Amino acid sequence: MLSIITPCFNSEKYIESCIQNVIEQNFNRVEHIIVDGSSTDATIEIIKSYAEKHSHIHWISEKDKGQSDAMNKGIAMAKFDVISFLNVDDYYEPNVFRRVMPMFETLPPNSFITGNCNLWDAANKHIGINKPDKTTLYDIIAFRRFPANPSAYFYHKTIHEKIGGYKIVNKNMDLHFILDMVQVANVVYVNETYGNFCIVEDSKTSEAIGDDTMYEEVREIMLSYRTKLNLIDRNRLRLLTIKKILKRFSFAQKLRSFILCNIVSM
C-alpha cells in the first residue's frame, strides 16, 4: 500500500493537475494525502470537489510552520508502509506505482527506491535528467550526486523512525533528509524515469536558483555532514580535494604562462 503526500498553499494553478496525476496512475492501493496550509485562493474548493468523488483522497487545511511542517503532518497521517511526496507543480511518469510497488515486496525494511527524474524549466523546456546512480554519503558530499526531487523516489515510512521527520527549515529540507537517510537505509537505484521536476515561475525553487546564498547554504550543509563519513571516506575526500586544488593550480599556471608569452611577443 502506498501513501502519496502533497503539501500545498495557495496552489490553485497546479493542485488539480497534481490530483489528476495520481488518479491517472490507475493504482487502487494508494491514498493521496493533501496537507494545505490554510489557502486563501481556490485551492481548498478544488481539493474538496475531488475528495467528494474519490475516496482515496484525504486532506486537512490548517496553519502550519511551512512546507517541512506540512510534510511531517502528512507522514503522521499516512496509513501505509511506503510513502512518496508529490509537490503540486511536479508529476509522476505513467504507471510508476505499478512499476515500483512490487519491488518493495522483496526488499528489507527501511528501503529507499529512487529512479531518474526529468528536469523542466519555466518554459516547459527539458533541461536535463537527474540520474542518482551512486547515492552514498561519500558520493553526495564529494560529487553533489543525489536524487533531485521526491517525485522520483519512494521509501519505507519507518526510515523516519530512525532519523526523525523533515527539518523545519525554509529550504533544502529534502537535502537534509537525503543526507540522513543514506546513513540508515537500504538504497536501491533503478535506471528508469519515475518523476518530473518542474521549475515554475514564482516557485521557491525558481527563487533559490537566482539566489547565490542558496549555493552557499548547500555547501555549508555538505561540510557539516563530513564528520559523519567513516575514516576511509574522509581520506578519499581529502585526496579528491587535493586533486581539485592541484588541477585548478595547474590551469592557473598554464593561463599565466600563456598571458606572459603573449605579452613578450607583443
Q: In sequence order, what DSSP letters do the residues of 13-36 get, joined into one string?
A: TTHHHHHHHHHTT--SSEEEEEEE
Q: Cα(96)–Cα(153) distance, rounded to whole angstroms?
A: 10
Q: By the 8 A CB rule, do 119 and 209 touch? A: no
Q: By the 8 A CB rule, do 35 and 73 touch? A: yes
Would the pTM count as exceeding 0.85?
A: yes
pLDDT at 161 over 50: yes
Q: By the 8 A CB rule, do 225 and 141 touch? A: yes
Provide the pLDDT for residue 243.
Answer: 81
Average pLDDT of the residues in 196-221:
72
Q: Cα(179)–Cα(252) distance, rounded to whole angstroms?
A: 34
Average pLDDT of the residues in 37-66:
96
Q: How confident is the model at residue 133 (pLDDT cuts 50, 70, 90)?
A: very high
pLDDT at 231 over 80: yes
Average pLDDT of the residues in 171-182:
95
Q: Which CATH number fits domain 2-228: 3.90.550.10, 3.40.50.880, 3.30.420.40, 3.40.50.300?
A: 3.90.550.10
92-114 pLDDT, tens digit per residue, is 999 999 999 999 999 999 999 99
Instruction: For residue 176, give the 3-state DSSP assignment.
Output: helix
Q: How confident is the model at residue 247 (pLDDT cuts 50, 70, 90)?
A: confident
CA-closest candidate to residue 58, choices 76, 42, 81:
76
pLDDT at 255 over 90: no
Q: How confident is the model at residue 206 (pLDDT cuts 50, 70, 90)?
A: very low
Of 70-84, 182-196, 209-223, least confident by mean pLDDT is: 209-223
% of the chain exceeding 70 in pLDDT: 88
Provide the pLDDT for residue 199.
Answer: 87
Provide the pLDDT for residue 145.
Answer: 84
pLDDT at 172 over 50: yes
Domain limits, the chain: 2-228, 230-266
Mean pLDDT taken over the chain: 90
C-alpha cell at 41: 485562493
Please name every residue paired with 35 in a beta bridge, in sequence order, or none if there are none.
7, 60
Average pLDDT of the residues in 173-201:
94
Instruction: For residue 145, give the 3-state DSSP assignment.
Output: coil
Phi, psi angle pair for 20, to nearest 5°: -65, -35
